[in-house]
Amino acid sequence: MMKKDMKWAMNHLPKSDDKNLPIMSLNEISKARTFHQSFPQYSETPLTQLTQMARYLGLGSIFVKDESYRFGLNAFKVLGGSYSMAKYIAKETHRDVSDLPYEVLTSDKLRQEFGQATFFTATDGNHGRGVAWAAQKLGQKAVVHMPKGTTQTRLENIKKLGADVDILDLNYDDCVRQAAKEAAATPHGVMVQDTAWDGYEEIPSWIMQGYGTMAMEAGEQLKAQGVERPTHIFVQAGVGSLAGAVVGYFANLYKDNPPKFIVVEASAAACLYKGAAAGDGKPRIVGGDLDTIMAGLACGEPNTISWDILKNHVTTFVAADDPITVRGMRMLAAPLKGDAPIVSGESGAVPFGTLATIMLSDECKDIRAELGLDDRSQVLVFSTEGDTDPERYKNIVWRGLNK
């Protein structure tokens, strides 16, 4: 028997008019994908089929979208940062983003026309690294604030890309407020954050569209492997931008027959789960230190655009404790003979860890039945980062520690 270490809430939230779903329309995501394909660093990240693991867990098939290969940055986040910057520059120069492929965006001519902006952001690591990378490539400035508890490795990764970066004695959500304040006080300062709040929605919606590239690739890769549509999609959430992007894209792609969507958060920062458990449709906020090894998911205030998409389309919200992601990291690193290993970091492995727990734990038979997970299920799982903190990864996977 496997310990459960998680709570879940089936989605009984009141539905809205779904006005945000068109943000993730197939047409919009196709534009984002074309933009990313213009980068010399672009290549599709692998979709790995775990055939033996599926058999062991009692599932039809498992496919893992492995973002550890994205642009050499070991995580998916750069997709959102780069696309939102391009959309911002397009708007400022009265162009369509389709007219700004990589070679135009990085040209001296455009730089002279647009000038120099300073892009501000708060990050637990991967998003800030993506923003810093994109700013460096586009000849722009980046200022990045990181919350307390951030490891030095994550800070150094961002510093190497030329950004001004620091670790503040604040939690993630307070770092977001600090970055927004500084952006507002800086000439040509721009806030690039993947969380939306009332009055700050345009740039987060562009970031979500950027994440859509990953979802679009996964849908095409599944088709190429003979899967017309997955029956279940497991995706993680911090503020919910990634989850909203993935759920929004696939809800549009398979609109007549959508898969079941399972959104997984870290228990210490489970704002979406708490909103679902409350059941009134209003978002919930989690404060405090948000203490979890899943640094990229330690966000307590939901993205308002995403929350709207998620409450209309998600099947189940899960709050997972750290042992769930530790289990996912270890199982992906050493799967069954015949399956390729996957390097998945603390925020990357929690959807797979959740799937494995649901399938193997006696305490999960109710949710297993409610979700209809069985030997006919074709499951898509997102691993959003590799070993972005290599020392911590080795501690957990090699040395048997839990953090």
3-state helix, strand, coil in the chain (%, to 5): 50, 15, 35
Instruction: Compute the distance between CA of residue 247 and CA of residue 382 in angstroms, rounded to an integer.
Output: 12
Identify the CATH number of the domain defined by range 78-199.
3.40.50.1100
| Nearest C-alpha neighbor of 174 from the set 145, 196, 203, 201 | 145
Interval 280-290: pLDDT, tens = 999 999 999 89
* Paired residues of 379 in beta bridges: 62, 232
Write down the number of H helices and E strands in the chain.
Answer: 16, 11
Give one word for 259, left, alpha or beta, with left for phi > 0 and alpha for psi -120 to 50. Answer: beta
Interval 184-215: pLDDT, tens = 999 999 999 988 998 999 999 999 999 999 99
Q: Which amino acid is at 170?
A: L
Task: Tell me the CA distances in angstroms from 102 to 70, 110, 313, 332, one per residue in order.
Answer: 16, 11, 34, 34
- Which parts of the chain register pLDDT below 70? 1
Q: In the chain, where are the structural domains located?
A: 6-75+203-397, 78-199
Domains 6-75+203-397 and 78-199 share a fold: yes
Instruction: Compute the distance between CA of residue 75 and CA of residue 387 in angstroms, rounded to an integer.
Output: 9
Q: Are strands 6-10 and 316-320 parallel, antiparallel or unpaired?
A: antiparallel
List the catalytic residues.
Answer: 77, 124
Instruction: Compute the distance between CA of residue 14 and CA of residue 279 in angstroms, rounded to an integer.
Output: 8
pLDDT at 1: 60
Alpha-carbon Rg of the chain, whole angstroms?
Answer: 20
DSSP 353-391: HHHHHHHH-GGGHHHHHHHT-STT-EEEEEE-BS-SSHH
* DSSP H/E element including 231: none
For domain 6-75+203-397, say whether CATH 3.40.50.1100 is its number: yes
Q: Counting beta carbons within 10 angstroms of the beta carbon of residue 168, is it exposed (0 to 12), middle (13 to 18) or buried (19 or more)?
A: middle
* Paired residues of 234 in beta bridges: 262, 381
Instruction: Compute the distance between CA of residue 286 and CA of residue 269 in angstroms, rounded to an integer.
Output: 6
pLDDT at 255: 96
**Gap between the terminal Cα atoms of the chain:** 23
pTM, two decimals, is 0.96
The pair of structure tokens assigned to 338 is 């015949």
